[in-house]
């Protein structure tokens, strides 16, 4: 299959915009015919029919792109994406967290020190992912050369297909910069940071900010240079662009809700000027919420989970491991932003629930739940398992209307 041009996203935007008015709730049940992976939006306001399509920006947010051994050894990687069709081409930008370096000088490697084959990254871009957060705890798994190599490869790939990326740098002498992109008359800024790293080797090349730690106990009163610098860059981006997207890699692994200080930290990023705060690291999805104040409306994704991983490969469906069962379910969060005279407003978020489905002879694939459940290729055990997972995931991708933190 040839490289899909991003212009296809522009062609299909009108169809995506029309979908805003079709429904105001998430898809219910698994019965009925499956015709398209477009999810129904959770709306915060109606979009007047007189609005021009170019006044609406359409973005999609995914979770972590992982590269475990069970994925590395099963090519072609196109199998992972084939059930998504053109869904990730029906927007302006698709964001994903690149949870690995790409360093071709060394062999591919899975957990705990990742190194992805070049074709794995190329396939993600081919399928529509064109904005990557590089700041995460595995960014420097292959040391400083791995960080630099990943940046160089993305720069080279951008010559053929524009790719946005942020969160690392080529040299300690450089400052961490904000990535900018002009699309359809919109100026978009993108910042990415991580709360911690697994190794100090090459750490100086990754944008690390203590983040939520600043909202814990005595640390809150201490001067946090990295955090103040991040706040400054967000405010600067706010002045220079129409839309500000901030990615942060932090939180507790495998927890279904953020801690109060984590939630407060993400809200502070929004107050500093971010329109969309997109967080990841827990490897499971957490609730998301709208933010509105003084005419501004944005959204916070506390965790978008895993988009693709091998964490559920060896799981027994009859007796699933509670610490792993949630790592294989996620969603593509489609966000529509409206430009107004007073600024931009997030008008809808449309989660498309997906799951990682294991096909032993082929590999792991990402597939919309409804499409999987309507197929004839599932065993009775698999059908029972995925039916239950779909019910759970549909609830978890709903917006967080409860203002209190649930007890775990």
Question: For the chain, what is the HEC assignment?
Answer: CCCCCCHHHHHHHHHHHHHHHCCCCCCCCCCCCCCCCCCCCEECCCCCCCCCHHHEEEEEEEEEECCCHHHHCCCCCHHHHHHHCCHHHCCCEEEEEECCCCCCCCCCECCCCCECCHHHHHHHHHCCCCEEECCCCCCCCCHHHHHHHHHHHHHHHCCCCCCEEECECCCCCCCCCCEEEEECCEEEEEEEEECCCCCCCCHHHECECCHHHHHCHHHHHCCCHHHHHHHHHHHHHHHHCCEEEEEEECCCCCCCCCCHHHHHHHHHHHHHCCCEEEEECCCCECCEEEEEECCEEEEEECCECEEECCCCCCCCCCCCCCCCHHHHEEEEEEEEEEEECCEEEEEEEEEEEEEEEEECCCEEEEEEHHHHHCCCCCCHHHHHHHHHHHHHHHHHCCECCCCCCCCC
pLDDT-derived band at 400, boundaries 50, 70, 90: confident
Show the domain range for 191.
7-396
pLDDT tens figures, 93-147: 999 999 999 999 999 999 999 999 999 999 999 999 999 999 999 999 999 999 9
Cα(298)–Cα(293) distance, rounded to whole angstroms?
A: 9
pLDDT of residue 31: 30
| Cβ–Cβ < 8 Å for 153, 118 | yes
pLDDT tens figures, 211-253: 787 776 545 545 688 999 999 999 999 999 999 999 999 999 9
pLDDT of residue 219: 53
Q: Is residue 154 part of a domain?
A: yes
Q: Is residue 82 predicted with pLDDT exceeding 90?
A: yes
Q: Is residue 407 part of a domain?
A: no
| Cβ–Cβ < 8 Å for 80, 119 | no
pLDDT of residue 54: 60
| Cβ–Cβ < 8 Å for 248, 194 | yes
Residue 217 φ then ψ, to 5°? 45, -135
Q: Is residue 34 part of a domain?
A: yes
Mean pLDDT in residue range 259-269: 94
Number of domains in the chain: 1
User: Rounded to a whole number, what is the largest CA-CA distance in the chain?
Assistant: 59
Q: Is residue 173 predicted with pLDDT exceeding 50?
A: yes
pLDDT tens figures, 154-163: 999 999 999 9
pLDDT-derived band at 184, boundaries 50, 70, 90: confident
Higher pLDDT pick, 17 / 113: 113
Cα(276)–Cα(63) distance, rounded to whole angstroms?
A: 14
Q: Is residue 386 part of a domain?
A: yes
Q: pTM of this prediction?
A: 0.86
pLDDT of residue 131: 98
Q: Is residue 301 predicted with pLDDT exceeding 70?
A: yes
CATH value at residue 59: 3.60.21.10
Q: Is residue 1 part of a domain?
A: no
Q: Is residue 62 part of a domain?
A: yes
Q: Is residue 279 part of a domain?
A: yes
Task: Tally the C-alpha atoms within 13 A of residue 253's C-alpha that lie toward its C-beta.
Answer: 9
Q: Is residue 194 part of a domain?
A: yes
Beta strand 131-133 pairing with 363-368: unpaired
Give the pair of three-digit tokens for residue 52: 């021009």
Cα(123)–Cα(312) distance, rounded to whole angstroms?
A: 22
Q: What percent of the chain has pLDDT over 90?
A: 76
| Cβ–Cβ < 8 Å for 398, 287 | yes
Q: Is residue 4 predicted with pLDDT exceeding 90?
A: no
Mean pLDDT in residue range 39-66: 65
Q: Is the omega angle on the peptide bond into residue 322 within 30 degrees of 0, that is, cis?
A: no
Q: Is residue 32 predicted with pLDDT exceeding 50?
A: no
């Amino acid at each position: 299959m040839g490289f899909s041009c991003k212009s296809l996203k522009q062609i299909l935007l009108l169809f995506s915009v029309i979908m805003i008015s079709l429904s105001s709730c998430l898809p219910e049940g698994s019965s009925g015919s499956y015709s398209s992976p477009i999810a129904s939006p959770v709306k915060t306001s109606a979009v007047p029919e007189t609005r021009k399509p170019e006044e609406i920006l359409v973005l999609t947010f995914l979770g972590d792109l992982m590269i475990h051994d069970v994925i590395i050894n099963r090519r072609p990687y196109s199998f992972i994406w084939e059930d998504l069709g053109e869904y990730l081409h029906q927007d302006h930008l698709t964001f994903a967290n690149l949870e690995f370096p790409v360093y071709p000088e060394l062999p591919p490697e899975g957990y705990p020190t990742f190194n992805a084959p070049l074709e794995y990254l190329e396939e993600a871009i081919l399928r529509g992912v064109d904005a990557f957060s590089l700041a995460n705890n595995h960014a420097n798994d292959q040391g400083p050369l791995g960080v630099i190599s990943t940046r160089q490869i993305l720069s080279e790939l951008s010559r053929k297909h524009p790719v946005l990326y942020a969160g690392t740098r080529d040299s300690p002498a450089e400052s961490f910069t904000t990535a900018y992109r002009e699309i359809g008359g919109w100026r978009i800024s993108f910042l990415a940071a991580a709360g911690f790293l697994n190794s100090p080797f090459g750490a100086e090349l990754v944008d690390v900010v203590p983040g939520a730690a600043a909202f814990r106990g005595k640390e809150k009163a201490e001067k946090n240079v990295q955090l103040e610098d991040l706040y400054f860059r967000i405010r600067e981006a706010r002045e220079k662009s129409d839309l500000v997207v901030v990615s942060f890699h932090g939180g507790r692994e495998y927890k279904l809700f953020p801690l109060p200080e984590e939630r407060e930290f993400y809200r502070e990023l929004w107050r500093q000027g971010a329109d969309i705060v997109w967080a990841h690291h827990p490897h499971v999805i957490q609730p998301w919420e709208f933010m509105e104040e003084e005419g501004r409306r944005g959204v916070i994704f506390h965790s978008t989970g895993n988009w693709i991983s091998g964490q559920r490969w060896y799981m027994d469906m009859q007796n699933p491991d509670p610490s792993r069962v949630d790592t294989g379910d996620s969603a593509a969060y489609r966000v529509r932003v409206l430009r107004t005279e007073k600024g931009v407003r997030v008008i809808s978020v449309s989660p498309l629930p997906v799951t990682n489905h294991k096909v032993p002879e082929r590999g792991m694939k990402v597939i919309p739940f409804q499409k999987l459940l309507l197929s004839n290729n599932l065993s009775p055990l698999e059908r029972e398992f995925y039916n239950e997972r779909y019910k759970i995931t549909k609830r978890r991708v709903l917006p967080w209307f409860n203002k209190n933190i649930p007890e775990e």
